[in-house]
Amino acid sequence: SKPIVAIVGRPNVGKSTLFNALAGERISIVKDTPGVTRDRIYADVTWLNHEFTMIDTGGIEPDSSDIILKQMREQAVIAMETADVIIFITDVRQGLVDADLQVATMLRKSKKPVVLAVNKVDDFKTQEIGIYEFYNLGIGEPHAISAEGKMGLGDLLDVVISHF
């Protein structure tokens, strides 16, 4: 079967925007038993003759930092259990925050490859400098993207498929 790529990250970093940019129209929603795990959204993606299934693990948008952290832990667990490659997405405008570090620590402990995307780099000239602090996550090279502007996505996918 196809490799599975899961997208993990804090609320509002742009997970769904990235997912939609890559997914086109082929989206399906899989509902879980209530209380077990959150609904996941799946899409089939083809990049350079490589097919994979992409999962957006983001559920409802929580409004307290405790719940955000709990949801991120759940996402990380789902991703580590089911994915072949994990895209961990952060936000250059908010910079590196504690919740990013906590999830990175969880992801590092899995044996799964993690590809680090730093989103909202809408202007590579002025904002790319901001990606370097994300090396502190200890999960490798940060890749600048703009999910909304559809920039950097091809380079990101090249790295993702290199792990299949």
CB of residue 49 vs ligand GDP: minimum separation in angstroms?
27
Is there binding between residue 71 and ligand GDP (CB under 6 A)?
no
Which residues bind to Mg ion, rule: CB under 5 A? 15-16, 58
Q: Under the criterion CB under 6 A, does residue 16 sit at the interface with ligand GDP?
A: yes
> Annotation-wise, does 10 bind a ligand?
yes
User: In this structure, which amino acid lies at residue 75?
Assistant: Q
Residue 75 gets the label, from left (phi > 0), alpha (psi -120 to 50) or beta, of alpha
Note whether 83 binds ligand GDP by CB under 6 A.
Answer: no
Whole-angstrom distance, CA of residue 150 vs CA of residue 162: 20
Residue 43, helix vs strand vs coil: strand
Separation of alpha carbons 44 and 23, rounded Å: 7
Among 5, 6, 8, 17, contact with ligand GDP (rule: CB under 6 A)? 17
Which positions touch ligand GDP (CB under 6 A)?
A: 9, 11-17, 58, 119-120, 122, 146-149
